């Protein structure tokens, strides 16, 4: 076989071209084909994602509306929890009445808890309350309690002068201040929400066994 140097220029050129074609063919079936397959796969994935995004696009504005609705519901729930708490916050209830009494200028002398009445979705928690103070201050106190954000029902209100406190069914008499003129007792009822009790499963009745 002749050496490359002994070959004519045309043959050398043909040999170079053939080698280039061979290398190109090998690259096509190895690297380039693999790269093309990868590109096609990536393009299909991109097309699928674009199609998915196009399908979800109409929900973009709906999502903003849903977020606003959720925010409004959360705000309403927070307001309802202040009106009817979902826990038995007795201390908070007493502190609230004490604060209103201080603002009105009257004295809360006693809280006596009465039995709790449980309903399906809430509980009524009544307290017998004993108060004393100036007459108009007493009126102001009950007016403010009626305007509280938290629901408080006042019932069984009885009022008497400080000289006849027993007529208002006061449990004790105190050393009243000179400006105090009335004693009052009432039942202040607050409310707490709770989940409805789970229904009690009724056991299935078995078939009566016949005598043999």
pLDDT score recorded for residue 210: 46
Q: What pLDDT, on a 0 to 100 scale, did the predictor assign at position 207? A: 46
pTM across the whole model: 0.55
- Residue 97: the pLDDT is 93
pLDDT tens digit at each of 212 positions of the chain: 455 455 555 666 666 656 665 656 665 666 666 777 777 787 888 778 778 777 777 766 776 776 676 666 566 556 555 555 555 667 888 899 999 999 999 999 999 989 988 887 788 889 999 999 999 999 999 999 999 888 889 999 999 999 999 999 998 888 899 999 999 999 999 888 766 555 555 555 544 444 44
**186 near 113, Cβ under 8 Å?**
no
Place of tokens 């400006």: 179
Q: Which domains are delineated in the chain?
A: 85-193 (3.30.70.60)
Question: What's the CA gap between 176 and 96, in Å, rounded?
Answer: 23
Closest C-alpha among 152, 159, 147 to residue 185: 159
**Contacts of range 155-161, beta carbons closer than 8 Å, 24 or more positions apart:** 155/186, 155/187, 155/189, 156/185, 156/186, 156/187, 157/184, 157/185, 157/186, 158/184, 158/185, 158/186, 159/183, 159/184, 160/184
């Amino acid at each position: 076989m002749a050496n490359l140097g002994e070959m004519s220029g045309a043959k050398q050129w043909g040999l170079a071209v053939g080698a280039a074609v061979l290398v190109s063919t090998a690259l096509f079936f190895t690297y380039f084909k693999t790269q093309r397959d990868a590109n096609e796969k990536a393009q299909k994935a991109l097309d699928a994602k674009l199609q998915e995004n196009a399908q979800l696009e109409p929900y973009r504005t709906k999502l903003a509306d849903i977020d606003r609705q959720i925010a409004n519901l959360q705000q309403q729930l927070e307001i309802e929890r202040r009106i009817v708490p979902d826990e038995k916050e007795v201390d908070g209830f007493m502190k609230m009445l004490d604060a209103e009494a201080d603002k009105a200028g009257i004295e809360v002398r006693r809280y006596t808890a009465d039995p709790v009445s449980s309903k399906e979705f809430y509980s009524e928690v009544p307290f017998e309350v004993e108060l004393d103070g100036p007459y108009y201050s007493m009126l102001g106190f009950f007016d403010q309690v009626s305007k509280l954000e938290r629901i408080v029902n006042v019932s069984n209100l009885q009022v008497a002068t400080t000289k006849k406190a027993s007529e208002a069914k006061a449990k004790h008499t105190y050393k009243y201040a000179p400006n105090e003129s009335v004693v009052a007792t009432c039942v202040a009822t607050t409310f707490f929400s709770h989940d409805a009790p789970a229904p009690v499963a009724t056991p299935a009745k078995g078939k009566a066994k016949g005598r043999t």
